[in-house]
């Protein structure tokens, strides 16, 4: 059974600092997603990572995937208050093709302090 662990659960950062959120998963998969959720809102897609070594960047966020280590990271560079939200990683249960059955991590609540 696929399990997804995310850490830390809560991250309080100062503006301008860098930090990394980690996402480990337990069984083979080649599709990993990162989402952002603001309070009371739905999930916003940030990144889709489809292969080993995939790296994607958007603004101050960069995501990477190591399928051999079953690890993805979401790196935040020079944090700003607008990045405050809950970040989820999600892994597709399939391998070699999408099942659209996503197993989500517990989420990381990011609070960026001025």
Write out the residues near another protein by the rule CB under 8 A: 31, 33, 35, 41-45, 48, 50, 88, 90, 93-94, 97-104, 106-107
Do 89 and 64 meet the contact criterion of CB atoms below 8 Å apart?
no
Q: 27-40: b or e for each residue (b if 16 or more CB lie within 10 Å)?
A: eebbbbbbbbeeee
Rounded to the nearest whole angstrom, what is the least distance from the CB of residue 23 to another protein in the complex?
A: 14
Nearest to 7 by CA among 111, 105, 112: 105
Q: Which is nearer to another protein, 85 or 102 (CB)?
A: 102
Which C-beta is closer to another protein: that of 13 or that of 91?
91
Min dist CB 101 to another protein, Å, is 4
Least distance (Å) from another protein to the CB of residue 104?
Answer: 4
């Amino acid at each position: 059974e696929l399990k997804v662990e995310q850490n830390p659960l809560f991250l309080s950062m100062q503006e301008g600092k860098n930090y990394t959120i980690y996402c480990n998963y337990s069984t083979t998969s080649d599709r990993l997603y990162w989402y952002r959720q603001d309070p009371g809102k739905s999930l916003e897609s940030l990144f889709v990572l489809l292969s080993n070594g995939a790296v994607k960047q958007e603004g101050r966020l960069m995501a990477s995937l190591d399928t051999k280590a079953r690890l993805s990271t979401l790196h935040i560079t020079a944090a700003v208050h607008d990045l405050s939200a809950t970040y989820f990683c999600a892994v597709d249960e399939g391998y070699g093709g999408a099942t659209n059955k996503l197993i989500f991590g517990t989420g990381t609540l990011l609070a960026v302090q001025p």
